[in-house]
């Protein structure tokens, strides 16, 4: 299990979750934040501080948000950032790119 950031984060990017993550697995895209599923240790600290309730355990993502499970994982692949497993978020791993699911959303 990993945590997943969903649609409520799009164009919000509050970032309260970023410093709460003890393994730095939350990365910044252009319009939202993404959790690397292989780096997440399932501690839930990010969930507890998200002011817009955009974070869910992957097995509890609402049905209409299920596409964000793949979006969080695929964000790190060659098609979007090519980062694969960076091993920790930081200024070096910030981009203006987004997964196509996010990029296709109307601006808020």
For 6-63, the pLDDT digits (tens) are 999 999 999 999 999 999 999 999 999 999 999 999 999 999 999 999 999 999 999 9
CB 16, CB 82: distance < 8 Å: no
Query: What are the extents of the domains in the chain?
Result: 3-87
Q: Per the structure block, which two tokens stand in for 86? A: 């960076």
Distances (CA, A) of 2 to 24, 30, 34, 41: 13, 22, 12, 7
Q: Give the phi and the psi of residue 69 in degrees, each rounded to 5.
A: -65, -50
pTM of the model: 0.96
- Report, at the CATH architecture level, how domain 3-87 is classified: 2-Layer Sandwich (3.30)
How confident is the model over 71-82, as pLDDT tens digits? Answer: 999 999 999 999
In this predicted structure, what is the pLDDT of residue 29?
98
In this predicted structure, what is the pLDDT of residue 38?
96
In this predicted structure, what is the pLDDT of residue 24?
97
């Amino acid at each position: 299990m990993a945590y997943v950031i969903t649609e409520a984060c799009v164009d919000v990017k509050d970032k309260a979750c970023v410093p709460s993550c003890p393994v730095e697995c939350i990365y910044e895209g252009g319009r939202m934040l993404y959790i690397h599923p292989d780096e997440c240790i399932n501690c839930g600290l990010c969930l507890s501080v998200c002011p817009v309730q955009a974070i869910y355990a992957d097995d509890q993502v609402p049905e209409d948000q299920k596409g964000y499970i793949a979006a969080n994982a695929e964000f790190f692949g060659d098609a979007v950032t090519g980062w694969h497993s960076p091993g920790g978020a930081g200024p070096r791993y910030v981009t203006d790119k987004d997964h196509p699911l996010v990029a296709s959303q109307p601006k808020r």
